[in-house]
Chains A and B, each alone.
Chain A
Amino acid sequence: DIQMTQSPSSLSASVGDRVTITCRASQTISNYLNWYQQKPGKAPKLLIYAASSLQSAVPPRFSGSGSGTDFTLTISSLQPEDFATYYCQQSYSIPRTFGQGTKVEIK
């Protein structure tokens, strides 16, 4: 199974900050990497697919990059509604696997 490791596990940031979350795969996965946002009590929501493609209706302050084993999710200017937990997920092979999550909290 491919292991997905996110860092940091949590971070504190202020509204307007630039935030970067990293995801590393245990083996190369090309660009088969997706990012999700989850708020308490809600299902995860797709933000980015294929490492860098923005899902429809997702604000352009979210962006993704990377290929191979190292990926990043960037929020260019953090908004109040962005405080949530973020997960990466690989779709390169079965079983699909998720990172452990990064919780973005208010500073």
Chain B
Amino acid sequence: QVTLKESGPVLVKPTETLTLTCTVSGFSLSNSRMGVSWIRQPPGKAPEWLAHIFSNDEKSYSTSLKSRLTISKDTSISQVVLMMTNMDPLDTATYYCARILRDSYGQYYFDYWGQGTLVTVSS
């Protein structure tokens, strides 16, 4: 069964760097049809896609946050890591990791999600 679980700090201070880890099971990060995205959702707002990574190490980032984000993976331990620098109170949100399925028609969708982790940015 496919699961994803986010872990990381619940509270960070402004200007600090946030590091989040997504540990996956039930699929391999080396599967060419699958990738992992990070998506965040501020309280009461819509989800916002942040970044993704695929088995071939292909990476993409949000246009507005690109300079602050780094995504990486360690296939051997089934983990994907997201780093976000220079945190601000406006970055307070629930952060989710989600599996991306790339189907045979070239469609991409988030078919499994982690439970999410609420990160609060405050001094």
Interface residues in chain A, defined as those with a beta carbon under 8 Å from any beta carbon in chain B: 1, 31-32, 34, 36, 42-46, 49-50, 55, 87, 89, 91, 94-101
Q: B108 and A45: CB pair below 8 A?
A: no
Q: A43 and B115: CB pair below 8 A?
A: yes
Which of A31, A32, A96 is the one whose CB lies under 8 Å from B37? Answer: A96
Q: Which residue from chain B places its CB closest to the CB of A97 in the assembled complex? A: B49
Interface residues in chain B, defined as those with a beta carbon under 8 Å from any beta carbon in chain A: 37, 46-49, 52, 60-63, 96, 98, 103, 105, 107-111, 113-116
> Which chain A residues lie closer than 8 Å to B47 at the CB level?
36, 44, 87, 89, 98
> Which chain A residues lie closer than 8 Å to B103 at the CB level?
49-50
| Given A96-B49, A96-B108, A97-B49, 17 more pairs with CB closer than 8 A | A1-B63, A32-B107, A34-B109, A43-B96, A43-B115, A44-B113, A45-B113, A46-B110, A49-B109, A55-B111, A91-B109, A94-B60, A95-B49, A96-B37, A96-B52, A98-B48, A100-B46
> Which chain A residues lie closer than 8 Å to B52 at the CB level?
96
B contacts with A: majority SS: strand
Q: Sample 20 A-B pairs with CB under 8 A, ordered by A number.
A: A32-B108, A44-B96, A44-B110, A45-B113, A49-B103, A49-B109, A50-B105, A50-B107, A87-B47, A89-B110, A91-B107, A91-B109, A95-B49, A95-B60, A96-B52, A96-B108, A97-B49, A98-B48, A98-B49, A101-B46
